[in-house]
Amino acid sequence: MGRWSEERVVAAAPDDASIAAARKLARPGPWSETGSNDVLVWGKCQGSGKTPYQVSVDTAAPAYRCSCPSRKFPCKHALALLLMWARGEAADDGPDTADFAREWAEQRAERVTARGNRPSGQPVDPAAQAKRLADRLELMDAGIADFSRWLTDLARTGLAAARNHPYSWWDGVAARLVDAQLPGLAEQVRAMGSDVHARADWADHLLFRTGRWWSLTKAWGIRETLAPAELADLRVALGWAVPSADVQGTESLPGPWLVLGAHRSDDGRIQQQRTWLRGPDGTVVVVLDFAAQGEGLATPQLAGAVLDTTVARYPGSAPRRAMFTSPLSPRGMAAAFGGGCSVSEALGLESAAVAVSPWRERHPVLLDGVRICPGGIGGTGGTGWLVDGKGSALPLLDAPMDSLLALTGGHPVELFGELEEGCVRPLSVVVDNAVVTP
């Protein structure tokens, strides 16, 4: 392959932010063991963690691989390596391919060959599959043990001291967790590096999170005794994804499915869309869609829409993640939800769910007869509250107060939302026999 131009490297970037970050890294300082041959470019980039990121690029495909936790494709490290290669500043041509780059290239070639030679539906080699599983479990065991020691040191020195550490301290711990194939934990630790400085309630938040992290490490140690749904929830919390192909072939649940509400979030690296659905038997599921920066998410479904479709559910405890397994056919719009509860009943349902799956981030909640109240109650602070007929209240989270007050006029309504850290994020309300997104 001919050497790429810088323009071609820029064209491969997923967004402007990635190429800007790559230009800062495109210098020999953080790089080692760089090299290239007819089709591969490789190198190691020293990040904030102890272990350098291993970067490999197949310039013929093209294809990219980096051991960093970024979900952008290609990431800034791959782009930086390509920029240096394009300029001739690093990655001189040579016959000796780095082990990590060669292994990656061989694995890709094996997958291509397997897809071409294996009859449709034939399983992969069970011995090789068992070996890969054993290797991953060994890595995870070592990562959990290291993380447990770090948590012990954190508690011994006092949580108050954690706020004095720079972000790189948190990022270093997260990098080790990524190396141990624990990306779910890594994301939480990395986010805490910002939370301890940005949140007014950082001390309570850190105490809550460290308690949850400690319970995760203990649960991993007894994973063989957990029920299948409990083990599935634990795997999700640690970041062990279930391939969608494994779910596609499971039993599908028929509709019609009522769209309770949806929410989009963006952490600067990846976009997420959560769509909550309720089936004819009352089963509640959530469909998750993801997209990298610069890419489009799936078309959102309108709150209140009734869809003729089928869904298959991922393993875990209720409410379970699901995926659509047939085309979506809108049947109409619902005039109301029905089946709502009071604030105290909602908290009771959340308590029961936490007892089953203590690592779940949020819970769906459908409340009936609640009013939107601005400001605090009884001298307390806050931007707004939900108050039911018995006077029980929950603070609102990410709530468009002007829109909610204009829609409801202070009258009792049905409201669907997500209960997260003791607050409700409103996703839809029923007003004048219509489901509305505020």
CB-side exposure of 142: number of CA atoms within 13 Å? 10
Q: CB-based burial of residue 156 (10 Å sphere; 0-12 exposed, 13-18 middle, 19+ buried)?
A: exposed
* 193 belongs to a structural domain: yes
Q: How far apart are the first and last CA of the chain?
A: 54
Residue 193 shares a structural domain with residue 109: no
**Whole-number pLDDT of residue 78:** 93
Residue 169 shares a structural domain with residue 219: yes
**What CA–CA distance (Å, rounded) separates 1 from 213?**
47
- The single-letter DSSP state of residue 123 is P
Residue 97 shares a structural domain with residue 32: yes
Residue 312 shares a structural domain with residue 367: no
**Among 129-133, 198-202, 308-312, 373-377, which is the least confidently predicted range?**
373-377
Residue 256 shares a structural domain with residue 229: no
From the list 192, 2, 172, the residue with the least C-alpha distance to 85 is: 2
Structural domains counted in the chain: 4
**What is the mean predicted confidence (pLDDT) over 323-342?**
90
Residue 198 shares a structural domain with residue 172: yes
**Whole-number pLDDT of residue 120:** 46
pTM: 0.70
* 125 belongs to a structural domain: no
Residue 296 shares a structural domain with residue 351: no
From the list 168, 139, 419, 167, the residue with the least C-alpha distance to 276 is: 419
Domain that holds residue 76: 6-117
**Is pLDDT at 1 greater than 50 in this prediction?**
no
* 72 belongs to a structural domain: yes
* 168 belongs to a structural domain: yes
CB-side exposure of 12: number of CA atoms within 13 Å? 26
**What is the mean predicted confidence (pLDDT) over 102-118?**
67
What backbone phi and psi angles, to 5 degrees, belong to 34? -80, 155
Q: What is the mean pLDDT of the chain?
A: 86
Residue where one domain finishes, among candidates 306, 333, 360: 333
Residue where one domain finishes, among candidates 303, 333, 363: 333
* 202 belongs to a structural domain: yes
Residue 142 shares a structural domain with residue 111: no
**Whole-number pLDDT of residue 393:** 92
CA angle 206, 208, 209 (to 5 degrees): 65
Residue 258 shares a structural domain with residue 166: no
Q: What is the pLDDT of residues 218-237, one digit of tens each?
A: 999 999 998 889 999 999 99
Residue where one domain finishes, among candidates 84, 117, 150: 117
**Is pLDDT at 378 greater than 50 in this prediction?**
no
Q: What is the pLDDT of residues 138-159, one digit of tens each?
A: 989 999 999 999 999 999 999 9
CB 298 within 8 A of CB 273: yes
Q: CB-based burial of residue 244 (10 Å sphere; 0-12 exposed, 13-18 middle, 19+ buried)?
A: exposed
Helices (H) and strands (E) in the chain, counts: 12, 18
Residue 104 shares a structural domain with residue 18: yes
Look up the CATH number of the domain holding residue 393.
2.40.50
Name the strands in the sheet holding 305-308, side by side, starting at the edge strand that comes first in the sequence.
252-253, 311-313, 320-324, 284-292, 270-278, 257-266, 305-308, 329-333
* 430 belongs to a structural domain: yes
The CB density around residue 39, as the number of other CB atoms within 10 Å, is 14
